[in-house]
Amino acid sequence: MGTMRPPIPNLLLRAATLAIGLALTSCATTQPMRVESPPVEAQVGVASYYAGSWHGRRTASGERFDMHELTAAHRTLPFGTRVRVTNLNNGREVIVRINDRGPWKKKRVIDVSYAAARKLGMIGPGTAKVRLDIVAESAVREP
């Protein structure tokens, strides 16, 4: 007769089976699941602009605010999102990139940079009724 091996404990057998199963499945390739975001409706409200004392300060995205760039602050849109802002009083429009959070005054939907405000023709009045349309969604992750 041959020699008898001692029985492998049940727990050790389960752990070995689990380890082999994990090793085999970790080698499998999978395609990432694409989730389509629902279409975003245009947003209408009041825009204001910021410049002067804000120039050179860090924005919520971490970059420095440059009042001469076409950027804007929005409460919820992801950083990097490109938005067409249309002044409903005169029909002028501009595309801005979201790089900050705001505006913090009620009834305002966006704060645009000085450069964007000039293109929109809102420097004199300081505010304008606008429509926001998303042009390109961001691939940038929030910090």
Architecture category of domain 43-136 in CATH: Beta Barrel (2.40)
Torsion sign across C-alpha atoms 64, 65, 71, 75: positive
Residues across the chain: 143
Of 8-12, 13-17, 55-59, 78-82, minimum mean pLDDT range: 8-12
- pTM for the full predicted model: 0.68
Instruction: Look at residue 11 and give its three-state secondary structure.
Output: helix
Q: For the chain, which residues make up each domain, given as ranges?
A: 43-136
List beta partners, residue 58: 64
Backbone angles phi, psi at 50, to 5 degrees: -135, 150
List beta partners, residue 45: 130
Of 30-34, 62-66, 87-91, 123-127, minimum mean pLDDT range: 30-34
Backbone angles phi, psi at 17, to 5 degrees: -65, -45
